[in-house]
A and B are shown apart, each in its own frame.
Chain A
Amino acid sequence: MSLLSTHGLTAFYGDAQALFGIDFELGAGELVAIIGANGAGKSTFMKSVTGLVRAAREQVRFDGQPIGGLPPGEIVKRGIALVPEGRRLFPSLSVEENLLMGGFAGRPGPWNLQRLFKLFPILEQKRALPGTSLSGGQQQMVAIGRALMSNPTLLLCDELSLGLAPIVIKEIYDAMPAICAEGMTVVIVEQDVSTAMRVAQRIYCFQEGRVSLQGASDQLTRDEISAAYFGV
């Protein structure tokens, strides 16, 4: 049984339709990447799954239960956490307070402050500083840590590499095996195709709100991905 599935998922911003019937399947323990150009609907998909954009009840199922249309607070309590695009740390909270906010849902599990400081040691040194005073890469670590603090079953990461230097991106993705080692299922949204191909087991490519390609990352060719990514 899949951990997360969407069937004919549609999403709207006012009158504008952003998703046109997305079918998506994710098994427990998988690491899947969603790629696509700007405006392809990747972030809207993440928002629909986490309740930030409204979805019909049966269009999103998690752990066998329909979760479409539930409020974000209820969805995080069921075990889905989002690392949002642009990190969106709370500016008035310190690094430690930002991390503690992630634990607000009160789900039991292996992730706590000590564990996170082991994964990202730099955060322990900077725990008392305002979260937004850190470098982009360190802020991304806080955003990931904040999501992990809710001890999710499914971690959704939206544009982890956005605006970061290649060396920082590598450092962040190097932490993924330690995260996945806990049996966590991960979905990453990534514009950098080579990074996505390197870290993910399966790839979904979105184009204009539809799935244009899917398959195992080691079986897809560059030409197939180019055609699905750009539509040419």
Chain B
Amino acid sequence: MFETALQVLLQGLLLGGLYCLFALGQSLMFGVMRLTNTAQGDFIVLGAFAAIAGLSALGALGLPDALLPWLAGLLLLPLAFGFGYALQRWVLNGTLGKDPLPSLVVTFGLAIVIQNLLLELFSADPRSIETAGLNTRSLALPSGFAVGVLPLLILGLAVAATAALQWLFNRTQLGRAFRAVSDDKEIAELMGLNSNRVYALATAIAFVLIALAGVLQGMRTTVSPSDGPLLLLFAFEAVIIGGMGSFWGTLLGAMLLGVTQQIGFRIDPGWGIWVGHIVFLLVLVLRPQGLFPKTRG
């Protein structure tokens, strides 16, 4: 009994690591701009397919197979940074204001465009990123458990990304600028800040995280053009459970979502996802501000 509980907990935490990476970009964009990106999941899928396309191109270089997905991921990150910057600067900044509807409509429209573009380019077939066996490798623990190397790596990257974001927010001049424009855009501009540029930098960083999440999702399992809405839902649930705009809260929210889904899966293989939804709804009803609603350290 105890061993089963421990195993469920462990698997849930590992799954939570991936959900955390899905959600961090959302948390950052909401924390700085109060913008809810409803295309978050589809951008994650786009990141995965971009890596798959990049792998095909890199394959011709004759590099070791184990190196290729990491190289594709690394090359994708600066592209995602530039794409996120341009998207915010020249598209999403125009939708910001007191009314949240324009940004919701525009990102929803982008989600539809991405889904159809991917269907056109890659068909509806699920695909994955070839990892040369990394996604099936495991580590044996002393208690007789085994944990996957890739999920463990993803969890490590999720914790590192959360810590890095929190450090950026609390300890750097850019982080101060993020918090200042989030608090009072007008006064921040009086200090000499260009809020449109600050917003664009926040989205650029969010898109680096989105691309990373996409590559890791593609390495861990299969992706198809229609996966975006479900990934958005997981990201959204993690952010809401943790508390909007809080990075450590997002990590903990993702962990809680992962663990509850694993408990559901253990009860019945068809229950996992909706048990997660139930916990999300309970948090929304009982504590709508989330469990750890603190944007700033």
Whether B190 pairs with A84 at a CB distance below 8 angstroms is: yes
Whether B220 is near chain A, meaning CB under 8 Å from some CB there, is: no
* Tally of contact residues, B, Cβ under 8 A: 19
Q: What bracket does the count of chain A residues touching chain B fall in?
A: 20 to 34
For B296, the chain A residues whose CB sits under 8 A away are 92
Cross-chain contact of B189 among A71, A90, A92 (Cβ < 8 A)? A71
A75-110, CB < 8 A from B: 76-77, 81-82, 84, 88, 90-93, 97, 100-102, 104-106
For B188, the chain A residues whose CB sits under 8 A away are 90, 101
CA of A101 to CA of B181 in the docked complex: distance in angstroms? 11
Give per-residue flags for A29-50: 1 if the beta carbon is below 8 A from chain B beta carbons, else 0.
0000000000000000000001
Beta-carbon nearest neighbor of A130 in chain B: B296
CA of A50 to CA of B189 in the docked complex: distance in angstroms? 10
CA of A97 to CA of B169 in the docked complex: distance in angstroms? 12
A-B contact count (CB 8 A): 60
Whether B194 is near chain A, meaning CB under 8 Å from some CB there, is: yes
CA of A106 to CA of B192 in the docked complex: distance in angstroms? 9
Cross-chain contact of A104 among B179, B184, B192 (Cβ < 8 A)? B192
Separation in Å of the B94 CB from the closest CB of chain A?
A: 17
Whether A191 is near chain B, meaning CB under 8 Å from some CB there, is: no
Whether B194 pairs with A73 at a CB distance below 8 angstroms is: yes
Cross-chain contact of A52 among B173, B177, B190 (Cβ < 8 A)? B190
Whether B180 is near chain A, meaning CB under 8 Å from some CB there, is: yes
For B183, the chain A residues whose CB sits under 8 A away are 90-93
CA of A215 to CA of B289 in the docked complex: distance in angstroms? 55
Whether A50 pairs with B184 at a CB distance below 8 angstroms is: no
Separation in Å of the A145 CB from the closest CB of chain B?
A: 12
CA of A105 to CA of B189 in the docked complex: distance in angstroms? 10
Beta-carbon nearest neighbor of A132 in chain B: B183
Whether B176 is near chain A, meaning CB under 8 Å from some CB there, is: yes
CA of A92 to CA of B182 in the docked complex: distance in angstroms? 9
Whether A104 pairs with B189 at a CB distance below 8 angstroms is: no
Separation in Å of the B190 CB from the closest CB of chain A?
A: 5
Whether B149 is near chain A, meaning CB under 8 Å from some CB there, is: no
Whether B295 is near chain A, meaning CB under 8 Å from some CB there, is: yes
For B187, the chain A residues whose CB sits under 8 A away are 84, 88, 90
For A81, the chain B residues whose CB sits under 8 A away are 190
* Given contacts A92-B296, A93-B176, A104 and B193 within 8 Å (CB-CB): yes
Whether B176 pairs with A100 at a CB distance below 8 angstroms is: yes
Beta-carbon nearest neighbor of A71 in chain B: B189
Whether B180 pairs with A101 at a CB distance below 8 angstroms is: yes
Whether A150 pairs with B179 at a CB distance below 8 angstroms is: no
B162-209, CB < 8 A from A: 173, 176-177, 179-180, 182-184, 186-194
5 nearest A-B residue pairs (beta carbon): A105-B192, A92-B296, A90-B183, A72-B189, A92-B179
What are 13 A-B contacts with C-beta separation under 8 Å? Answer: A73-B193, A73-B194, A81-B190, A84-B190, A90-B184, A90-B188, A92-B295, A93-B179, A100-B176, A101-B176, A101-B188, A104-B193, A105-B192
Q: Which residues of B contact A (CB under 8 A)?
A: 173, 176-177, 179-180, 182-184, 186-194, 295-296
Q: Which residues of A contact B (CB under 8 A)?
A: 50, 52, 71-73, 76-77, 81-82, 84, 88, 90-93, 97, 100-102, 104-106, 146, 150
